[in-house]
Structure 1
Amino acid sequence: MESKNRVTVEIFGEVYALKGDIEPERVMKLAAMVDKRMRTIAKTNSQLSSLKISVLAALNLADEYLQLERDYNQLVEMLKEK
């Protein structure tokens, strides 16, 4: 039985103890990405609560993901045509 990886990260001033199958280095990189996005949003919207900042960060990251997915699918289709 494979043991779960444990890692502690800090995102926007909150500490999270996480456990899972993903490598700790990857989890720390993901946490840093989310933290950076939240801090960027907070700088330009100082009146927002942490919850609203986290929702905006999630929406921003989801939008980027969808754009990358769309770009990837277009590239795959272009390669199929060759």
Structure 2
Amino acid sequence: MTKNKLCVEIYGQQYQIVGKASPGYMREVAAHVDDKMRQIAKSNPRLDTTRLAVLSAVNIADAYLKLKREYDEIIHLIEDDQP
């Protein structure tokens, strides 16, 4: 599988990202990060970019971990129902 190289903009900065995912997916991920940073910046206009990025990462990680726990619980329930 070939790696894709893509230039994206996140919170006004250009970033070169490389990955095996499709360019469309990579754009979607970058847009999600950009959206999260802009949401937090709107509520906290005095935050510098570094703190804004860290808070965004914490929020995204929180959402991920909650979904992972739900997924794991569902898988556990499904496996318990197997004969």
TM-score normalised to structure 1 length: 0.92
- Runs (5+) with no aligned partner, structure 2: none
Question: Segments of 4+ in structure 1 off by > 6 A?
Answer: none
Find the counterpart in structure 2 of residue 65 from structure 1.
64
Find the counterpart in structure 1 of residue 79 from structure 2.
80
In structure 1, distance between residues paired with 2:49 and 2:6: 22
Question: Sequence identity of aligned pairs in percent?
Answer: 38
What is the root-mean-square deviation of aligned Cα atoms in Å? 1.1
- Runs (5+) with no aligned partner, structure 1: none
In structure 2, distance between residues paired with 1:14 and 1:77: 42
Which whole-Å deviations, capped at 9, do the CAs of 1:26-74 have from their partners, x for residues lacking one?
1100000000000000000001001000000000000011101100010
- SS for the counterpart of 1:71 is helix
In structure 2, distance between residues paired with 1:18 and 1:38: 18
In structure 2, distance between residues paired with 1:79 and 1:44: 40
Give the number of equivalent residue pairs.
Answer: 81
In structure 2, distance between residues paired with 1:37 and 1:54: 9
Code of the residue aligned with 1:26 in structure 2: it is: Y
